[in-house]
Amino acid sequence: MKAYSPEAIRNVGLFGHGSAGKTSLAEAILFHSGAIGRLGKVDDGSTTTDHDPDEIRHKMTISLDLAPVEWNNTKINLLDVPGYSDFFGEVIQAMGVVECALLVLESVGGVQVGTVAAWNRAVADGVPRMVFVNKMERENADYSRVLNQLREKWGTGVVPVTIPIGAESRFKGIVDLLSGQAILDEKAPPSALPDEITADAARYREMLIESVAELDDDLLTKYLDGEEITSEQLVATLRQGVAEGKLVPTLAGSALQCRGITSLLDAIVNLAPPASAAQVNVEEGSLDGSTAALVFKTVSDPFLGRESFLRSFAGEIKSDSHLWNPRQRKEERIGQLSYLRGKQPEPTPAIGPGDIGVVAKLAGTFTGDTLTVRDKPVILETLAFPEPLFSVAIEPKTKNDVEKLSPALTRMVEEDPTLSVHHESATGETILSGLGESHVEIACERMQRKFGVAVTHSTPRVAYRETVHGSAKAEGRYVRQTGGHGQYGVCSVEVEPLPRGAGYEFVDRIVGGVVSQGYRPAVDKGIREAMEEGILAGYPMVDVRAILYDGKEHPVDSSEMAFKIAGSMAFKKAATDAGVELLEPIAEVEILVPDTFTGDVMGDLNGRRAHVHGMNPGGALTTITAEVPQAELLRYATELRAMTQGQGTFRARVSHYQPVPAHLAERLIQRLKAEHEAHQK
């Protein structure tokens, strides 16, 4: 593939709801443009972009993939992007490097959850939009209804550029409203309009002209005066409106039948902004005269190593060169660069400004990093990913998996920044978190397939805490005589509660040296170890003050070990006498739901022991803020989606601990104690 200037490059992402036909559309574009010789199908796993074994098995796009094509002396870098919300991190990665978001809608379902999510992200990132209404051959296909949905939701800036001729089994072509011609055969020249579509074409062209003319005073005057507006004038103003985000061209077709593909490719070339129009935020430095490429995706391969997808925003990236990673402060050797079409690499000596490619085996560069030149460094704004919403506790299946688990998890998180891993010390569990249940389950499958690490996963245990709710004193006596030196340590400890969140405080009130200075830290250590073990259900104790106020020692038999054990014994007795209670983590939750589901969500929150702080309407969405026990949120990502037809989202952050209500505590403590004992075995 030859090199192209930024003005002749179009970087376009295919976004939208799952099953709208994005992958099939990418395949149709590749086939129609001559990039591939055979039309693959999603059902049999033969498409160019859904080549990953997990994608073939699940029959859905999981990771974004590249599919460059050439059309009318223009290079179009297509990015096929997942539509399912569990993989929204891929949407963020793609949206950060394209100049146009092509939203693919299904002709029956119309505007769906994934459509809205992608549209909103494009608006937030300032990415111009186009729409392709796909599957016009399906039963109940209705272009007019889908177009009306779009215009009702996002305004009259959504304009028809092509319309279908017929629908369902009668779908036989499209009308290009800009040229006023029909395309009945994608491989033949356009023809005159069939009589049955003439009236509809005139009506839709009027809709197009009316919306476009509003952006240009001269065109508006001509329109109001009834003068003819040429296709060239329409295209020029339409192109400007797309770049400014004021107009959204809408086209129709069928990926499976390869209809409407010529017009779509022409629209991308003629209306979508070129790579030279890219807007990117720079954290440090200047793009002028420098080199800057953003690594927007990383793929870890157990055999090939790390494969980095990069987009050049300034300068040329050359194979067998050296660049500087200013965020990691490391020099990187750039090996063989390639253009990637699905899984097929095409080596290239360089990736020019505005273009997208891949490089393998970067040593210390990860997703979101910038590659630049050391003498004029630039740091591009990194990608911001959503926080994980769904977690599982994972355990290696066999002893062989134990040693391989940690490095495999590290590689998985490098590859997918929306995954996170941490060790929960309170429960002893390794927690894998992601954007949803499917996201985490597929990550576990991928870890076994790619790195040979098999794991089991389960609902995580809640990281409860224990504390005292009163004051008490107790003596700990550890005296052993076994011949020779014995063990002798006696100490008196008082415990009392501290304010929530204060942690632990050790107070030395020994008077007269009844316990030597050298033994007192051992008492503190014994108390700390006892607190880690807990008393009620095996969870760490917090918010406790322990006061060492008396004790006895033996000139020969006393030791640090004896006083550590005595301190632990004294603390456990005093804490038990003072009364121990269970604390549960409370999360601050912000839930964003469509107004129609607010009542359902509120009712559900009441059943989760939530304390609702407020409801803030905003347009068609309502934000609900509440405090909810973390135990009630373990599967909330899945349950909220089911409750809101996939349209609700939420964020949660543990903010504090509070006592478990008395009516729940006794039964919960018994269950947790049994679980802890089973876990210890």
Q: What number of CA atoms fall less than 13 Å from residue 349's CA on the CB side?
A: 2
Q: What is the DSSP string of 319-379?
A: TTEEEEETTTTEEEEE--EEEEETTEEEEESEE-TT-EEEEE--SS--TT-EEE-TTS--E
Residues 106 and 112 sit within 8 Å (Cβ to Cβ): yes
Higher per-residue pLDDT: 514 or 223 = 514
Distance CA 241, CA 219 (A): 13
Q: Which residues contact 50 (CB under 8 A, 6 or more apart)?
A: 23, 42, 56, 60, 61, 65, 80
Distance CA 637, CA 663 (A): 27
Summarised one tens digit per residue, pLDDT across range 351-400 is: 999 999 999 999 999 999 999 999 999 999 999 999 899 999 999 999 99
Q: What is the mean pLDDT of the chain?
A: 94
Higher per-residue pLDDT: 483 or 305 = 305
Confidence of residue 229 (pLDDT cuts 50, 70, 90): confident
Summarised one tens digit per residue, pLDDT across range 129-150 is: 999 999 999 999 999 999 999 9
Tally of CB atoms within 10 A around 235: 17
Sheet with 390-396: strands ordered across: 420-424, 429-434, 390-396, 455-458
Q: What pLDDT is attached to residue 421?
A: 97
Residue type, 524: D
Q: What pLDDT is attached to residue 614?
A: 94
Residues 410 and 317 sit within 8 Å (Cβ to Cβ): no
Q: What pLDDT is attached to residue 681?
A: 57
Distance CA 204, CA 369 (A): 46
Instruction: State which fold the 583-664 domain adopts.
Output: Alpha-Beta Plaits (3.30.70)
Q: Which two tokens stand for residue 447?
A: 């870890």
CATH 3.30.230.10 is right for the domain spanning 466-578? yes
**Angular region, 589: left φ>0, alpha ψ -120 to 50, beta rest:** beta
Summarised one tens digit per residue, pLDDT across range 532-573 is: 999 998 899 999 999 999 999 999 899 999 999 999 999 999
Distance CA 521, CA 209 (A): 83
**CATH: 3.40.50.1370, 2.40.50.140, 2.40.30.10, 2.130.10.10. Which one for 282-380?**
2.40.30.10
Q: What pLDDT is attached to residue 144?
A: 97
Say whether pLDDT at 330 is over 60.
yes
Confidence of residue 673 (pLDDT cuts 50, 70, 90): confident
Domains 6-277 and 390-458 belong to one CATH topology: no
CA proximity to 303, closest of 361, 248, 358 = 361
Q: What number of CA atoms fall less than 13 Å from residue 396's CA on the CB side?
A: 15
SS3 of residue 555 by DSSP: coil
Distance CA 540, CA 530 (A): 8
Tally of CB atoms within 10 A around 112: 20
Summarised one tens digit per residue, pLDDT across range 241-270 is: 999 999 999 999 999 999 999 999 999 999
Residues 254 and 32 sit within 8 Å (Cβ to Cβ): no
Q: What pLDDT is attached to residue 483?
A: 66
SS3 of residue 597 by DSSP: helix
Confidence of residue 328 (pLDDT cuts 50, 70, 90): very high
Residues 181 and 190 sit within 8 Å (Cβ to Cβ): yes
Pairing of strands 248-252, 129-134: parallel
Confidence of residue 301 (pLDDT cuts 50, 70, 90): confident
Q: What is the DSSP string of 289-302?
A: T--EEEEEEEEEET
List beta partners, residue 297: 309
Taking CA atoms, 653 is separated from 219, 467, 591, 616, 634, in Å, by 53, 22, 12, 19, 13
Q: What pLDDT is attached to residue 680?
A: 65
Higher per-residue pLDDT: 306 or 107 = 107
Average pLDDT for residues 637-643, to the nearest whole number? 93
H or E element, residue 12: strand 9-15
Taking CA atoms, 244 is separated from 99, 147, 492, in Å, by 11, 21, 75
Any idea which architecture 390-458 has in CATH?
Answer: 2-Layer Sandwich (3.30)
Say whether pLDDT at 92 is over 80.
yes
Confidence of residue 674 (pLDDT cuts 50, 70, 90): confident
CA proximity to 291, closest of 314, 321, 309, 322 = 314
Burial category of 517 from C-beta neighbours within 10 Å (exposed 0-12, middle 13-18, buried 19 and up): exposed
Q: Which two tokens stand for residue 56?
A: 């073939």
Distance CA 668, CA 629 (A): 14
Q: Count H helices, E strands: the chain?
A: 16, 35
Summarised one tens digit per residue, pLDDT across range 654-666 is: 999 999 998 888 8
Q: What pLDDT is attached to residue 228?
A: 86
Q: What pLDDT is attached to residue 620?
A: 74
Taking CA atoms, 4 is separated from 73, 128, 279, 343, 350, in Å, by 9, 22, 19, 22, 11
The class of domain 6-277 in CATH terms is: alpha beta
Say whether pLDDT at 605 is over 80.
yes
Please tell me what DSSP assigns to residue 446.
Answer: H
Residues 592 and 495 sit within 8 Å (Cβ to Cβ): no
Residue for token digits 């005139």? 202
Pairing of strands 472-480, 621-629: unpaired
Confidence of residue 230 (pLDDT cuts 50, 70, 90): confident
Say whether pLDDT at 675 is over 80.
no
Residues 358 and 340 sit within 8 Å (Cβ to Cβ): yes
Say whether pLDDT at 41 is over 60.
yes
Residues 83 and 17 sit within 8 Å (Cβ to Cβ): yes
Delimit the domains of the chain by residue range: 6-277, 282-380, 390-458, 466-578, 583-664
Confidence of residue 647 (pLDDT cuts 50, 70, 90): confident
Say whether pLDDT at 416 is over 80.
yes
The gap from C-alpha 200 to its chain's centroid, in whole angstroms, comes to 42
